[in-house]
């Protein structure tokens, strides 16, 4: 597992409208990496270096009925430990992340954040960001 630690630091959700509009409502998720830096975690076998990734995961509704964001940090450990300097160097020089690292980080964050977004949407009576399976009754021929 390339992610060793996960921490939420901020949760915000704001309902902008009083009533939900009729028709199609689009939900857009925008994961963003705010910062990357060298981080470490203490394990029973000693300290382990990794990359601390500070993120902001935004959710927007169209039409604008609500908006929100979750911020936090993860400790990412690349499959090859010698890649840490290369990944951090690219971030420091160009504020870019290689596609493989970005995919691993965003997939992990999405998996961790999605249940919280579902709960917030339920409590605030907003549409869910992913479709919920539904049972349909079909008439027999």
Domains in the chain, number: 1
Q: Is residue 51 part of a domain?
A: yes
Percent of the chain predicted with pLDDT > 90: 58
Q: Is residue 53 part of a domain?
A: yes
Average pLDDT, integer, range 38-53: 87
Q: Is residue 84 part of a domain?
A: yes
Which of the residue ranges 15-29, 72-86, 121-135 would you say has the lowest mean pLDDT? Answer: 15-29
Kindly list the distances between the CA atom of residue 37 and the CA atoms of 81, 87, 98, 104, 122, in Å, as whole numbers in the listed order.
Answer: 15, 10, 15, 17, 35
Per-residue pLDDT at 122: 92
**pLDDT surpassing 80 at residue 21:** no
Q: Is residue 24 part of a domain?
A: yes
Q: Is residue 79 part of a domain?
A: yes
Rounded CA separation 34/28 (Å):
19
Rounded CA separation 118/125 (Å):
10
Domain that holds residue 81: 3-123
- Quick: pLDDT tens for 80-139: 888 899 999 999 999 999 998 999 999 999 999 999 999 999 999 888 888 888 888 988
- Give the model's confidence band at 1: pLDDT under 50 very low, under 70 low, under 90 confident, else very high: low
Q: Is residue 136 part of a domain?
A: no
Q: Is residue 140 part of a domain?
A: no
pTM of the model: 0.84
Rounded CA separation 22/52 (Å):
42
Q: Is residue 134 part of a domain?
A: no
């Amino acid at each position: 597992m390339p992610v060793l630690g996960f921490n939420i630091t901020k949760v915000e959700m704001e309902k902008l409208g009083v009533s939900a509009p009729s028709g199609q409502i689009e939900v857009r998720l925008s994961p963003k990496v705010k910062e990357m830096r060298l981080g470490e975690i203490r394990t029973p076998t000693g300290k382990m270096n990794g990359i601390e990734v500070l993120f902001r995961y935004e959710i927007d509704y169209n039409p604008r009925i609500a908006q929100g964001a979750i911020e936090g940090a993860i400790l990412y450990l690349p499959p090859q430990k010698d890649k840490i300097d290369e990944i951090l160097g690219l971030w420091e020089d160009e504020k870019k992340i290689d596609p493989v690292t970005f995919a691993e980080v965003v997939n992990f964050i999405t998996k961790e954040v999605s249940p919280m977004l579902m709960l917030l949407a339920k409590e605030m009576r907003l549409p869910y960001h992913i479709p919920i399976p539904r049972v349909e009754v079909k008439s027999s021929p």
